[in-house]
């Protein structure tokens, strides 16, 4: 499926703030949350709804509402946690699954270390949250695990993607919907995104 790159002026402005190496962690976290709000709006564009009657103070009309079974948000630990509050702000009834993965520094292969998914994944709309899509290894593994647990309708929401990561995901999971704020140039020889913003998890949590 074609990836959606938002390229919105507000995304561009906020991305410039978090790309800046001088931006302190407190501001970095806040701006990631602001970008998370934009991603939550755009990432949920295809959320299915059903018709429902509603009584306004003036008349009865037809509205729409989300399906009874709430969506699932799955932040990929750690950096995905930075996007979670924004998504929960807009979808407060969402269930939250957690998936712990870290990239092995030498092999770049994602190493799973924690997993806790809510039930009925096969009937829910699932959003994978991870600000960085570099080689695509972590996101691909996250989607693989979710599909193995039954998920059928999955959207990945990321702040910055490298072309390599998009290509990898489209090959591994052609049915995956991908929404990113920006598409950067390339990966460096350590698989960091250029120009990127460095290590998102370290900058979010002060572990530099």
Joined together, the tokens standing for residue 36 give 């998370």
Joined together, the tokens standing for residue 182 give 């920006």
CB of 106 to ligand PRP, least distance (A): 13
CB of 208 to ligand URA, least distance (A): 11
Joined together, the tokens standing for residue 186 give 């390339």
Q: Segment contacting ligand PRP (CB under 6 A): 15-23, 56-64, 84-92, 137-145?
A: 137-145
Which of 91, 126, 134, 178 is in the footprint of ligand PRP by CB under 6 A? 134
What residues have CB less than 8 Å from 170, skipping those under 6 apart? Answer: 1, 3, 176, 178
**Using CB under 6 A, which residues numbered 74 to 93 contact ligand URA?**
79
Q: Is 184 in the site for ligand PRP (CB under 6 A)?
A: no
Q: Is 102 in the site for ligand PRP (CB under 6 A)?
A: yes
β strands within 67-183, DSSP E: 72-77, 95-96, 98-103, 110-116, 125-129, 132-133, 153-161, 177-183
Which of 14, 95, 103, 173 is in the footprint of ligand PRP by CB under 6 A? 103
What residues have CB less than 8 Å from 148, skipping those under 6 apart? Answer: none
User: Using CA of residue 204, residue 185, residue 166, residue 36, what is the dihedral sign?
Assistant: positive
Q: Is residue 2 reached through a cis peptide bond, with omega within 30 degrees of 0 on the bond before it?
A: no
Closer CB to ligand PRP, residue 123 or residue 167? 167
Q: Is 164 in the site for ligand URA (CB under 6 A)?
A: no
CB of 55 to ligand PRP, least distance (A): 46
Element (H, E) at 187: strand 186-187
CB of 175 to ligand URA, least distance (A): 24
Q: Which chain residues interact with ligand PRP by CB under 6 A?
A: 76-79, 101-103, 108, 110, 130, 132-139, 165, 191, 199-201
Q: Which chain residues interact with ligand URA by CB under 6 A?
A: 79, 132, 134, 192-193, 196, 199-201
């Amino acid at each position: 499926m074609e990836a959606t790159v938002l390229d919105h002026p507000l995304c561009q402005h906020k991305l410039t703030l978090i790309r800046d190496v001088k931006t302190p962690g407190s501001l970095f976290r806040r701006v990631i949350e602001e970008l998370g709000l934009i991603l939550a709006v755009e990432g949920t564009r295809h959320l299915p709804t059903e018709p429902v009657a509603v009584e306004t103070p003036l008349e009865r009309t037809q509205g729409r509402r989300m399906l009874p079974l709430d969506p699932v948000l799955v932040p990929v630990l750690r950096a995905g946690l930075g996007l979670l509050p924004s998504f929960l702000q807009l979808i407060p009834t969402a269930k939250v699954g957690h998936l712990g993965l870290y990239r092995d520094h030498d092999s770049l292969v994602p190493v799973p270390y924690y997993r806790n998914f809510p039930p009925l994944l096969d009937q829910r709309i699932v959003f994978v949250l991870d600000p960085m899509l570099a080689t695509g290894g972590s996101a691909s593994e996250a989607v693989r695990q979710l599909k193995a647990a039954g998920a059928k309708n999955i959207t990945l929401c990321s702040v910055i993607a490298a072309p390599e990561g998009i290509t990898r995901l489209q090959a591994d999971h052609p049915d995956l919907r991908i929404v990113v704020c920006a598409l950067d140039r390339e990966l460096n020889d350590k698989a960091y995104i250029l120009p990127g913003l460095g290590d998102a998890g370290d900058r979010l949590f002060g572990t530099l």
